[in-house]
Amino acid sequence: MKRLLPFVLLASAMGSFACVAQPALPLDDRQALIETLLERMTLAEKIGQLRLISIGGDMPRERIVEEIAAGRIGATFNSVTRADNRPMQDAALRSRLGIPIFFAYDVVHGHRTIFPISLALASSWDLEAIALSGRVSASEASADGLDLTFAPMVDITRDPRWGRTSEGFGEDPYLVSQIAGTLVRAYQGERLSAADSVMASVKHFAVYGAVEGGRDYNVVDMSPQRMYQDYLPPYRAAVDAGAGGVMVALNTVNGVPASANRWLLRDLLRDDWGFRGLTISDHGAIDELLRHGVARDGREAARLAIEAGIDLSMHDSLYLQELPGLVERGEVSIELIDQAVARVLGAKYDLGLFHDPYRRIGRAADDPAEVNAESRLHREAARQVARESLVLLENRERTLPLRKDARIALIGPLADSHVDMLGSWSAAGVAAQTVTLRQGLEAAIGESGRVIHARGSNVTDDAGMIEYLNFLNWDRPEVVQDSRSPQAMIDEALGAARDADVIVAALGEARGMSHESSSRTSLTLPASQQALLEALVATGKPLVVVLMNGRPLQLGWVREHADALLETWFAGTEGGNAIADVLFGAHNPSGKLPISFPRSVGQIPTYYNHPRLGRPYVEGRPGNYTSQYFEEPNGALYPFGYGLSYTDFEVSKPQLSQRKLKRGQRLEVSVTVKNRGARAGATVVQLYLQDLVGSAVRPVKELKRFEKLSLEAGETRVVRFSLGEEDLRFHDARLDFVAEPGEFEVQLGLDSRAVQSARFELL
């Protein structure tokens, strides 16, 4: 028998709003509940459910509360405490039908505890660590009354000029897909309705990471084969993992803006992939249909968006203004509106909000006295995850690890910066709660060692760049200039270096440089930092460069002159401690690059899994009339999958269980990995496949499996991978997903370049 609860009882049990008599709702039957509500709702109430309003945007909070109480808002975002969200939920329950609202936020790499940026999480190649970051994020966000996160962001990018490279997980479809599924499961927990689960809304659907020239919001134009093969899999993985939401991208996809793209949102997402959740437009995207020039006016924009399949409209007024008239004139059917409303109601149902609208807001009496209390942070998890994400790029003469009795000159504009440690999209993270590199080193260094700190330079002295960075949507200017002259700062740094055994230089980008809309034409260190670095190099002291940045940088000069190079990205709340753990060797670095580092901007794109060519450049042979740039060697400076350790690993040639594979059979691939060094360490064994002859041109290699493993000094382990026909499939010229008979090469190694291979044939 269905449970029929008078909604008024449930709501009044929460005790915080005036009772409005409502008939019973079938709370235990999702479909019946949705249908019952749809029958009761007026058109205005339905359209209200399709509005997602930004708190802190144009509308004052009092107005928002009134609008919610009038049933004209379905959800909000950017309000992040229980105390702030409770009055809004009270207002929703005061509305005629008492439909709860939900609260969303960009919890991208942490909520109060900030984990390393997404690109850094991907560098860990550690799905357990990534899951931990997701679970902690969900528990912290839900404890603040939040129900949904606009994450994971799984846009593949091959162009580091794009500022949002920092927000994604790199260039590889397989790695990013694995992370996408992992994070969806981590955010949503075992049951989405649980008080500590939040709904994942994967973004930005689709192919946003391929904006032309890496310039944000630019067009995307791509062959269907490339789209299916390389760019769509991560979104699909998130959908298959049960993501409740999909956020629609701002860009065009082959000529049609994603927000008006019926093929994308209906044919592909709903019909082919079977997605049944909620679609959400990106900020202001429906308005932007006018500027794209696909809609004559607001009315047409609203019609295009709802017809394409956008359920919830983020920060637009067009649904509110135009949908009533469109429905009344019969230009948009009420069925279309009902379908969108049903999905919003369904999301609220799945989140458990009909059963308990205060599921995540809780009772006022239980609110934290201090939202930023230390006790609410998960520092240990943040440190553990951050350590896994650091990538050792160079270590000549074993400069690292440092000795604890060393005198260290710590120099650089990022050495003591709290705010930059947070990286972009730092949710409710508080800069002052981050551990800077200076703090981390000082905490770790022994009694006999010393840290001598000097800033050395500003992040940049370029007035235009500073103005831009401080104009980004932060609460206050972030890039604060030292008023001393560049030379005075360098002199101070050289003074610090004079008394030191080793220099640690913390250089890179201000966090705003790798951010939404922060596309760059150059990937070099800003001139102020390059000048500082050159002065430090000239001292002849051992030099460790600790990079903090949100995208691959052009590192040729740095690589040549630094003794050690550690890529730390933006490492989050515990960044300084995690980096110190690696610098002093308490943790042996094991991160691997999830994206290729180009030698120069002119070389972009440098992705490793490129299709084969008729005139390939072959290293060591003359380059004439081959595919190359004549001023520079081919290939990335640091390839995908690359990263060093303080120990040395040896990998055997891959052994295959058979040379001929029948369909339906499994191929077992094994390799022996040995830690040849004197200390324990972890590495990532990577398995790539190449289809040697195909009906369409196939990539030189594609990642198909990986395993991160820890080995004691001297330890040997056999790593086994199992492959099947599904791993050999690709989208052919007709977009059929097929495995063609013929020879394949298995390539195994500890990065994408240094591999050993073996062949087999698919019969």
Secondary structure of 357-381 in the HEC alphabet?
A: CCCCCCCHHHCCCCCCCHHHCCHHH
Q: With respect to ligand BGC, which residue has the nearer C-beta, 203 or 236?
A: 203
Q: With respect to ligand BGC, which residue has the nearer C-beta, 106 or 350?
A: 106
Please state, in angstroms and as integers, the Cα–Cα distance from residue 647 to each residue in 194, 582, 585, following that order. Answer: 43, 13, 11
Tokens standing for residue 622: 């003359």
Long-range contacts of 331-337 (CB under 8 A, 24+ apart): 331/303, 332/302, 332/303, 332/306, 332/307, 334/43, 336/306, 336/307, 337/43, 337/46, 337/47, 337/50, 337/306
Q: Residue 447's Cα: distance from chain center in Å?
A: 39
Residue 51 interacting with ligand BGC (CB under 6 A)? no
Q: How far is the CB of 447 from ligand BGC (least distance, A)?
A: 47
Q: How far is the CB of 283 from ligand BGC (least distance, A)?
A: 4
Per-residue contact track with ligand BGC, 148 to 167, x per CB under 6 A?
--x-----------------
Please state, in angstroms and as integers, the Cα–Cα distance from residue 20 to each residue in 64, 69, 91, 95, following that order. Answer: 20, 12, 12, 8
Are residues 27 and 354 in contact, defined by beta-carbon separation less than 8 angstroms? yes
Q: With respect to ligand BGC, which residue has the nearer C-beta, 150 or 638?
A: 150
What number of CA atoms fall less than 13 Å from residue 536's CA on the CB side? 36
Q: Hey, which residues does 409 pair with through a beta bridge? A: 452, 503
Q: With respect to ligand BGC, which residue has the nearer C-beta, 424 or 458?
A: 424
The DSSP line for 709-744 is EEE-TT-EEEEEEEE-GGGG-EE-TT--EE--SEEE
Question: Which residue's entry shows tokens 């390393």?
Answer: 116
Q: How far is the CB of 56 from ligand BGC (least distance, A)?
A: 11
Q: How far is the CB of 164 from ligand BGC (least distance, A)?
A: 8
Q: How far is the CB of 426 from ligand BGC (least distance, A)?
A: 12
Q: How far is the CB of 282 from ligand BGC (least distance, A)?
A: 5
Q: With respect to ligand BGC, which residue has the nearer C-beta, 107 or 565?
A: 107
Task: Name which position in 67, 230, 282, 567 contacts ligand BGC (CB under 6 A).
Answer: 282
Q: Cα–Cα distance between 711 and 673 in angstroms, integer?
A: 9
Q: Cα–Cα distance between 728 and 751 in angstroms, integer?
A: 21
Q: With respect to ligand BGC, which residue has the nearer C-beta, 347 or 547?
A: 347
Q: How far is the CB of 77 from ligand BGC (least distance, A)?
A: 6
Q: Which of 155, 172, 282, 751 is catalytic?
A: 282
Q: How far is the CB of 297 from ligand BGC (least distance, A)?
A: 24
Q: With respect to ligand BGC, which residue has the nearer C-beta, 283 or 292?
A: 283
Residue 417 amino acid letter:
S
Nearest to ligand BGC by Cβ — which residue?
150
**Exposed/middle/buried for 738, CB within 10 Å: 0-12, 13-18, 19+?**
middle
Active site residue 316: no
Per-residue contact track with ligand BGC, 237 to 276, x per CB under 6 A?
----------------------------------------
Residue 203 interacting with ligand BGC (CB under 6 A)? yes
Q: With respect to ligand BGC, which residue has the nearer C-beta, 101 or 415?
A: 101
How many Cβ atoms from other residues are within 10 Å of residue 346's Cβ?
A: 19
In eight-state DSSP terms, residue 699 is: B
Q: How far is the CB of 76 from ligand BGC (least distance, A)?
A: 12
Are residues 536 and 493 in contact, defined by beta-carbon separation less than 8 angstroms? yes
Q: With respect to ligand BGC, which residue has the nearer C-beta, 249 or 414?
A: 249
Q: With respect to ligand BGC, which residue has the nearer C-beta, 150 or 608?
A: 150
Q: With respect to ligand BGC, which residue has the nearer C-beta, 46 or 112?
A: 112
Per-residue contact track with ligand BGC, 479 to 518, x per CB under 6 A?
-------------------------------------x--
Q: Cα–Cα distance between 241 and 243 in angstroms, integer?
A: 6
Residue 169 interacting with ligand BGC (CB under 6 A)? no
Residue 316 interacting with ligand BGC (CB under 6 A)? no
Q: Residue 124's Cα: distance from chain center in Å?
A: 13
Question: Which residue's entry shows tokens 């599921």?
Answer: 359
Map the footprint of ligand BGC across residues 589-628, applying CB under 6 A: none
H/E element, 412: none
Q: Cα–Cα distance between 187 and 196 in angstroms, integer?
A: 9
Residue 337 amino acid letter:
I
Nearest to 350 by CA among 242, 188, 193, 191: 193
Question: Which residue's entry shows tokens 């235990």?
Answer: 28
Q: Cα–Cα distance between 414 and 242 in angstroms, integer?
A: 39
Are residues 433 and 377 in contact, defined by beta-carbon separation less than 8 angstroms? yes
Q: With respect to ligand BGC, which residue has the nearer C-beta, 282 or 420?
A: 282
Tokens standing for residue 125: 């190649």
Tokens standing for residue 714: 């001297």
Q: With respect to ligand BGC, which residue has the nearer C-beta, 52 or 93?
A: 52
Radius of gyration of the chain (CA): 27
Q: What are phi and psi of 510, to 5 degrees?
A: -70, 150
Q: How far is the CB of 354 from ligand BGC (least distance, A)?
A: 25
Strands 655-656 and 667-675: antiparallel
Per rule CB under 6 A, count of chain residues that contact ligand BGC: 6
Q: How far is the CB of 761 from ligand BGC (least distance, A)?
A: 45
Task: Name which position in 45, 90, 106, 144 contacts ligand BGC (CB under 6 A).
Answer: 106
Are residues 305 and 321 in contact, defined by beta-carbon separation less than 8 angstroms? no
Are residues 207 and 253 in contact, defined by beta-carbon separation less than 8 angstroms? yes
Please state, in angstroms and as integers, the Cα–Cα distance from residue 364 to each residue in 15, 130, 692, following that order. Answer: 11, 32, 64
Map the footprint of ligand BGC across residues 511-540, applying CB under 6 A: 516
Q: How far is the CB of 69 from ligand BGC (least distance, A)?
A: 24
Q: How far is the CB of 263 from ligand BGC (least distance, A)?
A: 22
Residue 283 interacting with ligand BGC (CB under 6 A)? yes
Q: Cα–Cα distance between 24 and 539 in angstroms, integer?
A: 79
- Catalytic residue positions, numbered: 282
Q: Which spans of this chain sit near ligand BGC (rule: CB under 6 A)?
A: 106, 150, 203, 282-283, 516
